Amino acid sequence: MRIGLISDTHDRVPAIAALLQEFQARGVEMVLHAGDFCSPFALQPFLDNSAPMVGVFGRNDGDREGLRATAAQCLACELFEAPHSTMIGDHKILLVHDLADVSERSMMAHALVVHGHEHKQEMKSRGDTLIVNPGEGCGWVHGSPCAAIIDLDSKHVEFVKLDAAEWKR
């Protein structure tokens, strides 16, 4: 199963929409969002694309009730407080915004940890645990919206980076 990983979208709707289109083109079946949507309108591309999504709140998600209400409009969108542990098939996944909010022991109990907060793409392993930061979906800091795609069975991660022609309107 191919899963899209995204974080730190910070209200940049055109970038979010373009990343979701890229996910769809690459056969992604669902999206994990590691927080910092910011405002409820940032979920509109998920609604428009009927993209299944599980997400957690980040530090800049001020209107959590509005975000929950908007996510509830999409049949396959769920938002949780971070950290959130979930199972996708046989894969135990921890979704958190900031790695500093979880213990090493908690991370090691999962096959995959997805996080954000740092706005940079990164992948590392600790034992059998793969830790992935998909980077900044918004592109505000580094200029290009980015994300990642993981094949859960092989644990192969592809980093995605959009250039301006792919998303700016």
Band (pLDDT 50/70/90 cuts) for residue 142 is confident
**Tens-digit pLDDT profile for residues 43-57:** 999 999 888 999 999
* Residue owning tokens 């022609």: 165
pLDDT of 169: 55
pLDDT of 51: 85
Q: What is the pTM of this model?
A: 0.96
Closest CA to 119 of 100, 99, 137, 94: 137
pLDDT of 75: 80
Cis peptide preceding 52, ω within 30 of 0: no
**Domain 2-167 belongs to what topology?**
Purple Acid Phosphatase; chain A, domain 2 (3.60.21)
Q: Please, are residues 136 and 145 in contact by the beta-carbon 8 Å criterion?
A: yes
User: Strand pairing partners for 124?
Assistant: 131
User: Strand pairing partners for 79?
Assistant: 55
**For residues 99-106, average pLDDT:** 94
